[in-house]
Chains A and B, each alone.
Chain A
Amino acid sequence: MAGSITTNNLSATFGEVRAIEGISIEIIANKVTALIGPSGCGKSTFLRCLNRMHELVPGAGTTGEVIWDGRNIYAPDVDATDVRRGIGMVFQKPNPFPLMSIADNVSAGLRLAGSKRNKSAMEEAVERSLRLAALWDEVKNKLHKPGGSLSGGQQQRLCIARALAVEPDVILMDEPCSALDPASTQKIEDTMDKLKDNYTIVIVTHNMQQAGRVSDFTGFLLTQESGEPGRLIEYGPTSKIFTMPDHKETENYITGRFG
């Protein structure tokens, strides 16, 4: 299925520093997969390897395979920009283009060379994406206002709409609610629930309750010794990970005994 991602023995480095090592996981299409683990365990780095954002950091490197849509996205003939069009991303800090209008923010991806659309298709996509992100009713009368004028929660939903507009198969979310208040968090979780029908979602979160609420599958990453890279300790259905994990570390983390 187009929405599934399989990693084989994926490792990532920042210069000499090994961030994650040997992660093999199969992310199921049209499900929400949560990645949890203490700070510095490499879960964000792992996420950024899935759409080749990691390599944009100077000195960063990866080894191993990420299979998406039937091919290894790290194969030499694969263009990273194609990968990123198919696997969208929402960041921890809302990052709309601050001077661009709300409408232009959403259609930004559609104005790029690889995904050009005509004007009416673009307007349609803007409305559809904003509705999906549960932002349409709040901004439909001020689409020409700059993206920077919205509140933090609205900005994050704008970023989700922007990611949705290019119709990716997968959406990666890197702690999307950590800068938001509970009401905004609620709206984004509702949105994720709706999106599941058509999109695969991978979310990195620090919030255990959130992982429990929104995800179907959960992966637990951990740095076992300081200086060691992060490894995948356990991966499975969220219900199982949260009630009867196989590993002691998982249980300790989930029950709040450390991390």
Chain B
Amino acid sequence: MSFINNLRDKFRRAPRPARERLGDTLFRIIAFLAAATIVLIIALLVIQLFRGAIPSIREFGAGFLSSTEWDPGNDLYGAWPFIYGTLVSSLLALLMAVPLSLGIAIFLSQFAPRWLRSPLGFIVELLAAIPSVVYGLWGIFVLAPFLGETVEPFFSGHLGSIPIFAGPVYGVGLFSAAVVLAVMILPTISAISRESMLNVPRDLKEAAQALGATPWETIRMSVLPLARPGIIGAVILGLGRALGETMAVTMVIGNRPEASASIFAPAYTIASVIANEFAEVTAGLHMAALIELALILLAITLLLNLLARLLVQQTGARAARGKDKRA
């Protein structure tokens, strides 16, 4: 035994070379700097935007958010039509994309035969690689005319008494933009949801299956509850992309700064108006108003992210407390 003890002492007391400790410290510093950069970039971005927006904030105050006037000729600016167009087009897109994406994710992760999984998953991810200007072209030449001649007249003809379907149809407008956005965020939402569904451990699926659960019941009982945080994360990412998408939306939304109740009416988004007007503006109030719009877009994205995060935490906490109040 003394031999082993000697050996043990020998190894335990061997000090680490100083060089190695220095490397550790350096590595820690580099990692910290990398993490700090991201905070710095966001902080600088917010500060710069805020500074650029000051003239507009001074001139219009909080009224900027609610004013519907956007008249560069008379130097009058209001953000509401753009906020409205951005939110409604993105939420409509989510409404269409989320159910479809979940269907895709469930099929790919639970039902698709193995040989089909990779190719099909690849095709779905390929959708994300298509440049948005291509979607825009497709939207303006194919989708918008199609919707304007078939889907939209059908709804406005039969359900025209409901304000959201009322009014003339043009093809280009909120609805077409939402459909294009839905196609664009589909791959993001379905790919991430599929990942989180695939990560549900097999033994938890077997727990349901061993009770005699059908495939759908197994998904409802085991897969969806455990994949929920991932699915919500996927939806947030999709929403983020929809809110910020510029090119494709600009090409099909009609670019009219009006907040109309009808989803078939032309509208305008924050990202689109910035892209459209930045080239013509030199300085002054117009520039400040555009920068303030950018600040608002940033705030909306941040706010929705926070909201979604809260939602994840709350459903998680509720699940942890247990839903069953009977006991």
Q: Which residues of B contact A229 (CB under 8 A)?
A: none
Cβ-defined contact, A103 with B326, below 8 A: yes
Residue among B212, B225, B321, B327 having the largest count of chain A Cβ atoms under 10 Å: B212
| Stretch among A30-38, A92-100, A235-243 lining the B interface | A92-100
**A20 adjacent to chain B (CB < 8 Å):** no
Cβ-defined contact, A81 with B210, below 8 A: no
Contact flag A56-B212 (CB < 8 Å), given A97-B221, A99-B225, A101-B323: no
**A159 adjacent to chain B (CB < 8 Å):** yes
- Interface bits A82-99 vs B (CB < 8 Å: 1, else 0): 111100110101011111
Q: Which residues of B contact A58 (CB under 8 A)?
A: 114
Q: Which residues of B contact A142 (CB under 8 A)?
A: 327
Q: Which of B114, B207, B210, B325 makes the CB contact (< 8 A) with A97?
A: B207
Q: Which of B211, B222, B322 makes the CB contact (< 8 A) with A84?
A: B211
**B40 adjacent to chain A (CB < 8 Å):** no
**A166 adjacent to chain B (CB < 8 Å):** yes
Taken together as a complex, chains A and B put the C-alpha atoms of A100 and B320 apart, in Å, by 8
**A193 adjacent to chain B (CB < 8 Å):** no
Instruction: Please report the total number of B residues contacting A with Cβ < 8 Å.
Output: 27
Taken together as a complex, chains A and B put the C-alpha atoms of A141 and B324 apart, in Å, by 12
What's the minimum C-beta distance from A204 to chain B, rounded to whole angstroms?
Answer: 14
Taken together as a complex, chains A and B put the C-alpha atoms of A93 and B201 apart, in Å, by 12
Q: Is the interface of B mostly helix, strand, loop or mixed?
A: helix
Taken together as a complex, chains A and B put the C-alpha atoms of A89 and B207 apart, in Å, by 8
Q: Which residues of A contact B222 (CB under 8 A)?
A: 97
Cβ-defined contact, B210 with A88, below 8 A: yes
What's the minimum C-beta distance from A26 to chain B, rounded to whole angstroms?
Answer: 23
What's the minimum C-beta distance from A32 to chain B, rounded to whole angstroms?
Answer: 19
List the A residue with the shortest CB-CB distance to B203: A95
**B49 adjacent to chain A (CB < 8 Å):** no
Which residues of A108-150 have CB atoms within 8 Å of chain B's CB atoms?
108-109, 112-115, 123, 140-146, 149
Contact flag A163-B327 (CB < 8 Å), given A91-B203, A95-B203, A146-B322: no
Q: Which residues of A contact B303 (CB under 8 A)?
A: none
Taking beta carbons and an 8 Å cutoff, which residues of B are in contact with A?
114, 201, 203-204, 206-214, 217, 221-222, 225-226, 319-327
Taking beta carbons and an 8 Å cutoff, which residues of A are in contact with B?
51, 53, 56, 58, 81-85, 88-89, 91, 93, 95-104, 108-109, 112-115, 123, 140-146, 149, 159, 162-163, 166
A-B contact pairs, 20 of them (CB 8 A): A51-B210, A58-B114, A81-B212, A81-B213, A84-B210, A85-B211, A89-B210, A95-B204, A100-B322, A101-B323, A101-B324, A104-B323, A112-B214, A114-B212, A143-B324, A143-B326, A144-B326, A146-B319, A146-B322, A163-B211
Interchain residue pairs A-B with the least CB separation, the first 10: A85-B212, A143-B327, A101-B322, A109-B211, A144-B322, A99-B319, A89-B210, A101-B324, A84-B212, A144-B324
